[in-house]
Structure 1
Amino acid sequence: MEVMVKEHGINSFKFFMAYKGSLMVTDGLLLEGLQKCKSLGALAMVHAENGDAVAEGQQRMIDLGITGPEGHALSRPPVLEGEATSRAIRLAKFVNTPLYVVHVMSTDAMEEIAKAKREGQRVIGEPVVSGLVLDDSWLWDPDFATASKYVMSPSIREAGHNKALQAALSSGISQLVATDHCTFNSTQKAFGSDNFRKIPNGVNGIEERMHIIWDSMVENGTSTSNQLKPTMLQQR
């Protein structure tokens, strides 16, 4: 990390609390990473979901015979995003270093960020456009090709979370809308046609972002044109 910061100018590092068996870090590794970021003056970023619990939820769905895209949402409910967000915030507080929570998708996670900010902790919350304007009904479409397009992690939530995230963005609880752009074509998504766990996770986050945010927030009065400024729209 030191070489990347000092020689290549990289000043942020992302830690995955999800994806057990591949990308997921343990609490010990996350703590070590937070400490290293602090010593280097780098910003720690977290994908906040409880990876152990998600793996358990996925197996529950398979045991119930739920193999379609809806199983993706059912296996990783908002409470698991809220728990991981809370844990990451508290570890960052313990280390006394800023924290950036990427793709905040639920009220559960947003409320943890709001609480930390009220207490003076340096926490940045980042919603993405899919979480701000969509709901999980798309994942229940009977056509796999359609439903699989909306598989991302954390999952797109049930109706209501999107409006709460919009309100948090308008009020300053969340600071910006980033991309989390990670697209796959229909052939790639079809890898999980018989098992939602194999569907590549990711959606488009760049091309339509600005006008969707404008149409869904500025046009309906949730936000203002002055609030929709370049600093709100970041590419990551």
Structure 2
Amino acid sequence: MRNLKNSYDKPSLIFEEKFFRKGYRRIAGIDEAGRGPIAGPVVAASVILDQNNIPKGINDSKKLSPASREIIFHQIMLTAIVGIGIGDVEKIDSINILNATKYAMNLSVERLDDKPDLLLIDGNFTINNNTQNIPIISGDTKSLSIAAASIIAKVTRDNLMNKFSHIFTKYKFAKNNGYPTKDHLNIVNNFGICSLHRKSFKPINKIINKNNL
């Protein structure tokens, strides 16, 4: 598959419009949240925007404040076709994070109410789907559909980690979202791991071996 690479100030419909001109009609943007953390699931989202009703302010989720993300999240959910897929910790540890990400992405496509005829994927890889895949490096900064998916994935995962923080209270998941912050690693060193920690990830594996957990 071709890899479309360019640089843009803000995400736009440049990719979507290019493929609309080629006859595609249901173009889904796909992105994930949670590949880097040492705890919690990876969450993927697929979004088919309504070209006549696109919420304002859509951007790469990392460039938006939590409050803005939450507002735009609800607007996307109301106006677009959205599918969400989750790769849990067991899946990550059994097939690795990249394959768990692809699994979650495929699941998110399957959960769309309308079958897409083209997938714009954030990254440099394709997924095992019969629909045509177009990988776009840093796609969440270039394509509005992918940026919308990044918001859905990020808010969904953050909300999950917030819920987990009430169950695994020691680990401050609402604050660190499972990322390997200094404080998070200190907590794991002191108290050990919980069922949300990814044993296949080097920092956790190192602590397990060190403490014979």
Q: Same fold (TM over 0.5)?
A: no
Higher strand share: 2
Task: Name the TM-score class by shorter chain.
Answer: under 0.3
Give the alignment's TM-score, normalised by structure 1: 0.25
